[in-house]
Structures are given as structure tokens and as C-alpha cells.
């Protein structure tokens, strides 16, 4: 699955989807908000209605040429994360995308509910919202208490409060640390 795609299901966490979208677009990246259903709107966990730019059913299943700069991004939120995790077509696309060399990013509950459906995560370092780590740990992954963690071609984020840090980590993986620092500076996120 080529490009940078943020997948939305009813009940997604607003900040985790839209702050990441904002950070990446500030860097000039072409980001697509993708609904997993064919409904014209997706409702967030806080009642915000978002019109997707594309739909999962519209994606070509050819993963030829997929590279590490191609990201599938999964926000958390309830019941949004459960809806993502139960979408067989999305889970199949995620597995194929990753096997083809693409990258994955998940935040909050999504590492535990969505990424845990990858066939092999042994050795993965990850973070997530408290209480969602067990499925990945059981498969040999290691939990790290940090705002965002990059481990190979997988980036995970802790929670809504760390959505911008998560977005910056994805940006750093795609365009490098200088561009991530530029966007961070533009957001006045100087932590010093």
C-alpha cells in the first residue's frame, strides 16, 4: 500500500489522527485519511465528523515497490481501535504491506489491538496506552515507557497527549531529523 495513509474507523481518537495528519502535512507530505468502511463520514470518539479522502476498498492490493517511506498509520480511541482490529481486509493489507517492506505506525490502544495481529513481533520495542501491552509482550515484544518509539519499520505512540511526538517520529523516519526539527520549531515545541 503506497503512500502515507491514516486509517479511520468510527470511534477514532481525534488528536491521534488529526494531529499526526497536521504534523506530516506541515512538512509537505501527501497524507490520505482513509475510512475502513464506505460511509461518507467517520465519527470520532468525541463526536467530530470527518470526511475521508479515500476508502480502504479503493486500494490496489499490489504492493510492488512498497518501501519504508510508505506508512499505514493507526490511531487509537474507542471503539475505533476495536473497529480497526476487527476489519479483516485492513489486517490483511497491514500484514502484506509490512511483508513487502512498508512501515507501520500505531498509537494508544492500536499497538496492542492492531499491531499484535502481525505474525512476528519478537524483538520489537514498542509503547502504548497502559493496559494494551500484553498481547505484544506475549509475542516477544518489549514495552518501553516513552512518548514514541521507533523499532525497525514500526513506530508506536503512547497516548493522545503524545500524538505530536508520535507524528514527529513518523516525519523523522520519512524526511529525516532536520525536517522533524524544523516542524517542531514551527510548532514552538522547544522542550529546553
pLDDT digits (tens, 9 = 90+) for 6-24: 999 999 999 999 999 999 9
Residues of the chain with pLDDT > 70, as a percent, come to 99
Q: Which of 155, 167, 125, 130 is nearest to 15 (CA)?
A: 167
Q: Are residues 17 and 166 in contact, defined by beta-carbon separation less than 8 angstroms?
A: no
Number of residues that this document lists for the chain: 192
Q: Are residues 72 and 105 in contact, defined by beta-carbon separation less than 8 angstroms?
A: yes
Which residues, in sequence order, are CB contacts of 13 under 8 Å at separation 6+?
44, 45, 75, 76, 77, 80, 107, 108, 160
Residues of the chain with pLDDT > 90, as a percent, come to 92
pLDDT of residue 62: 78
- β-pair partners for 107: 157
- 74's grid cell: 493507526
Cis peptide preceding 142, ω within 30 of 0: no
Q: Is 92 helix (H, G, I), strand (E, B) or coil?
A: helix
- 47's grid cell: 463526536
Could you read off the pLDDT of 113-147 as tens digits, one per residue? 999 999 999 999 999 999 999 999 999 999 999 99
- 147's grid cell: 512518548
106, pLDDT greater than 70:
yes
60, pLDDT greater than 80:
no
Q: Which of 121, 75, 132 is nearest to 95 (CA)?
A: 121
Beta 154-157 vs 103-107: how paired, if at all? parallel
Q: Are residues 96 and 61 in contact, defined by beta-carbon separation less than 8 angstroms?
A: yes
pLDDT of residue 37: 95
pLDDT of residue 93: 95
192, pLDDT greater than 90:
no
pTM: predicted TM-score of the whole model, two decimal places = 0.96
pLDDT of residue 191: 58
Amino acid at each position: 500500500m503506497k503512500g502515507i495513509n491514516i486509517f479511520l474507523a468510527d470511534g477514532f481518537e481525534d488528536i491521534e489522527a488529526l494531529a499526526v495528519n497536521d504534523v506530516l502535512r506541515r512538512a509537505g507530505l501527501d497524507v490520505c485519511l482513509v475510512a475502513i468502511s464506505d460511509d461518507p463520514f467517520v465519527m470520532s470518539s468525541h463526536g467530530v465528523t470527518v470526511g475521508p479522502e479515500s476508502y480502504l476498498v479503493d486500494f490496489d492490493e499490489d504492493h510492488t515497490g512498497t518501501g519504508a517511506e510508505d506508512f499505514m498509520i493507526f490511531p487509537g480511541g474507542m471503539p475505533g481501535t476495536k473497529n480497526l482490529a476487527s476489519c479483516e481486509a485492513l489486517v490483511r493489507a497491514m500484514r502484506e504491506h509490512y511483508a513487502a517492506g512498508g512501515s507501520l505506525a500505531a498509537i494508544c490502544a492500536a499497538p496492542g489491538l492492531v499491531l499484535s495481529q502481525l505474525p512476528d513481533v519478537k524483538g520489537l520495542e514498542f509503547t502504548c496506552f497502559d493496559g494494551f501491552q500484553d498481547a505484544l509482550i506475549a509475542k516477544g515484544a518489549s514495552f518501553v515507557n516513552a512518548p514514541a518509539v521507533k523499532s525497525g519499520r514500526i513506530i508506536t505512540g503512547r497516548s493522545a497527549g503524545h500524538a505530536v511526538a508520535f507524528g514527529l517520529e513518523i516525519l523523522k523516519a520519512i524526511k529525516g531529523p532536520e525536517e522533524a526539527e524544523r516542524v517542531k520549531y514551527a510548532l514552538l515545541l522547544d522542550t529546553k
